[in-house]
Chain A
Amino acid sequence: MEPTLKLWTMVVVVGALNYLSRLSFIAFFARREMPPLLERALKFVPAAMLTAVIVPMIATPSLAPSGDAMPRIAAAVVAGAIAWRLRSDVATIAGGMLALWALKALL
């Protein structure tokens, strides 16, 4: 498929599907009782999805040289600890980046 057409088809289709996911229960299913199994399963979507996205980004990054997996894993653990203790996104990101730079300078 021609690249420009492929990109815009993707933007429109993914955009529409994301929008329908966002709108789903707010507009369509608002007056209906949610099936109990679905309600139970939905609770675990963020934990499962985010982990599946994060782990490869840290362990096998496609944008960075593959040699520095160890400092990335260690820095991610530091960031996780900061997120657990402080519950602050800015502190998590800043702490994680500083940890990565420090570890890369040391190792």
Chain B
Amino acid sequence: MRNFIRDPDFRAGFAEMLPINVGLTPFGLVCGLGAAAAGASFLGALGMSGIIFSGAAQVLAIELLAAHAPLAVIVLTCFVAGLRFLMYSAAMAPYLRTLSPRWQHALAFLLTDQAFASSVRRFDAGADPRAGAMHFLGAGFALWAWWQVTNAVGYFTGNLIPASWSLDFAVPLCFIGLLVPALRSSPALAASLTAGVAVMALAWLPMRLNLIVAALLGIAAGTAADFARGAWNRR
């Protein structure tokens, strides 16, 4: 551990996440208080934040648990919400190819939207894969540790926060910060618009199944638009 703390790349990754952790604080509090409201024990809440370690999956799981949805629906919804990790994993893979399996497994566990966004820039900048991996480890560790703290604090003190503050609104705001940079191309815009319209149009589906269907329709629309653009450019 001491070796890590002394490593300049580990420290740089850790430090880079400090402002991001500030932004994620209300999100973590909402996850903790949501887990308490859904009737989870403190240990159960820590299990969600420590093992699942994904705000999107936690929020959806809490909502579905509170609505007494069947386990299979919760698992499927969280899995579909986690499909974006496939894309991050594919994008990270070339940079981690030369590392040992131990490193690969550790870094995969810490792969989140935020760590991905910051470390892809870092890997592009430096040629040394070990320095990039250290940077990623520092960033991932900072995010994981603070996520546990904010979830725990939210679990115990969430009910002290006045409802009029609308703290839950910080959750979609965190995702807006991730979504907007992903909308650079017209196919991505088509994917987003389709998913947005579909999720509202299919709101009548039980147990938030509209989320899964809308996400898949959005991915299909983006892929189709990408093919159409390719065909158009080849003419």
Contacts and interface: CB of A to CB of B under 8 A. Distances in A.
Contacts of A88: 177
Contacts, number: 288
Interface of A, helix, strand, loop or mixed by DSSP: helix
A75 B176 CA distance: 11
Interface string A33-66: 0100101111111111111111111111111100
A49 B81 contact: yes
Contacts of B71: 1, 6, 9-10, 13
Contact of A97 (B57, B170, B219): B170
Contact of B196 (A21, A45, A52): A52
Interface residues of A, number: 73
Q: 6 closest pairs, A vs B, by CB?
A: A48-B218, A44-B222, A15-B51, A83-B180, A21-B85, A23-B108
Nearest to B176: A79
Given A25-B89, A51-B199, A55-B199, A19 B65 contact: no
Nearest to B171: A57
Given A14-B79, A72-B169, A100-B169, A53 B176 contact: no
Interface of A: 1, 3-4, 6-15, 17-19, 21-27, 29-30, 34, 37, 39-64, 68, 72, 75-76, 79-80, 83-84, 87-90, 92-94, 96-97, 100-101, 104
For A44, A62, A87, the residue with the greatest tally of chain B CB atoms inside 10 Å of its CB is A44
Interface stretch (B4-12, B20-28, B124-132, B148-156): B20-28
B108 A48 contact: no
Nearest to B35: A7
Given A100-B169, A104-B166, A51 B87 contact: no
Interface residues of B, number: 100
Contacts of B171: 57
Contact of B195 (A3, A24, A47, A75): A47
A101 B170 CA distance: 12
A48 B93 contact: no
Contacts of A6: 65, 71
Given A14-B57, A14-B75, A22 B88 contact: yes
A54 B52 contact: no
Nearest to B109: A19
